Amino acid sequence: MPISLADIAALRQALTSGVGPVENEIIAEKASALGNPGRQAQKAVAALHAFDASPHTGVERLALVKAAAREVWKYFIQRELCGLRDQREVIREYRIPQEVLMRLGVMD
C-alpha cells in the first residue's frame, strides 16, 4: 500500500511536535471534558443576562445568579484540572457578571 503525502505530513507532524498518540488522546479528552461544563456555564450566564434585559422580580433573579455561580464554578474547576488556571479570558468571553464572580470568591 503506497504512502500518501498526507500520511507523510501527518507522520512528520507527529514526530516533530513531540506529541504521540497517547498525548493526543489526553488532549482530546481534556477538550471533551471542558465542553459540557463550558456550555452549561455559558447557558446559565446567558439566562441571567436575558433576565436582566426584561423586568422580573428579585427572587427569580437570585435563583439565576446562584445557578450561574454554580455552573461557572464547575467550569472553572474543570479548567483548573486541565491545567488552565487563568480564568480572565473566560470571564470576558462569557461576560460573567461581577455578582456571579463574587459568589465564587473571585476578585477582578
Got the DSSP string for 25-46? Answer: HHHHHHHHHHHHHHHHHHHHHH
What does the pLDDT read at residue 4?
64
Confidence band of 3 (pLDDT split at 50, 70, 90): low
User: Per residue in 42-100, pLDDT tens?
Assistant: 999 999 999 988 877 777 888 999 999 999 999 999 988 888 889 999 999 999 999 99
What does the pLDDT read at residue 29?
79
Higher-pLDDT residue of 73, 20: 73
Number of H helices, E strands in the chain: 5, 0
Residue 10 to residues 2, 23, 77, Cα–Cα distance (Å): 15, 15, 34
Nearest CA among 99, 105, 79, 82 for reference residue 90: 79
Higher-pLDDT residue of 11, 55: 55
